[in-house]
């Protein structure tokens, strides 16, 4: 996919993405990515309207590197918890990128039923980016997500 084929601006008809893209862009500046030189910034909106952010934090022991989504979920709980309704992730070129599989699973645990993820192809639901997801209901028959 060429850079020109990627969505690098929010959908014109839906202004809710602009503040999230701006927040993810700001989070990019907080990335610690000296090994891959691939900074990532993430931003999500909660049901109560807060915007939470995160950046990837690498480590010389690659296995303990944290994706931007992980630090964003930490910010979610640091600022009061809740569920995410919208999410976007940008790379250092400010292209909209997809969360990796691990991060999709993480987002699934902390999303509102109506959460939308801005992808390079436009907004998608959690079910579209992680179909037939394994979740809290699979490990105890109940939903343990915070309310």
57 is in an annotated binding site: yes
pTM over 0.75: yes
Q: Is 26 one of the annotated active-site residues of the chain?
A: no
Give the C-alpha separation, 75 to 107, whole Å: 13
Which tens digits make up the pLDDT trace of 81-118? Answer: 999 999 999 999 999 999 999 999 999 999 999 999 99
Q: Which CATH architecture has domain 16-127?
A: 3-Layer(aba) Sandwich (3.40)
> Which residue in 71, 107, 20 sits closest to 115, CA to CA?
107
User: From the candidates 69, 114, 121, 128, which is the catalytic residue?
Assistant: 69
Which tens digits make up the pLDDT trace of 9-54? Answer: 545 468 899 999 999 999 999 999 999 999 999 999 999 999 999 9
Provide the phi-psi class of 37: left if phi over 0, else alpha when psi is between -120 and 50, else beta.
Answer: left
């Amino acid at each position: 996919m060429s850079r020109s084929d990627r969505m690098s601006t929010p959908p014109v008809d839906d202004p809710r993405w602009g503040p999230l893209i701006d927040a993810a862009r700001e989070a990019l500046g907080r990335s610690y990515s000296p090994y891959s030189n691939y900074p990532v910034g993430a931003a999500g909106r909660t049901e109560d309207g807060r915007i939470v952010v995160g950046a990837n934090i690498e480590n010389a022991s690659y296995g303990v590197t944290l994706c931007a989504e992980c630090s964003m979920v930490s910010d979610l709980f640091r600022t009061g918890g809740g569920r995410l309704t919208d999410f976007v992730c940008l790379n250092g070129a400010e292209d909209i990128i997809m969360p990796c599989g691990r991060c999709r699973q993480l987002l699934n645990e902390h999303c509102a039923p109506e959460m939308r993820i801005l992808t390079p192809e436009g907004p998608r639901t959690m079910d579209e980016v992680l179909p037939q997801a394994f979740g809290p209901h699979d490990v105890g028959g109940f939903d343990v997500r915070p309310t």
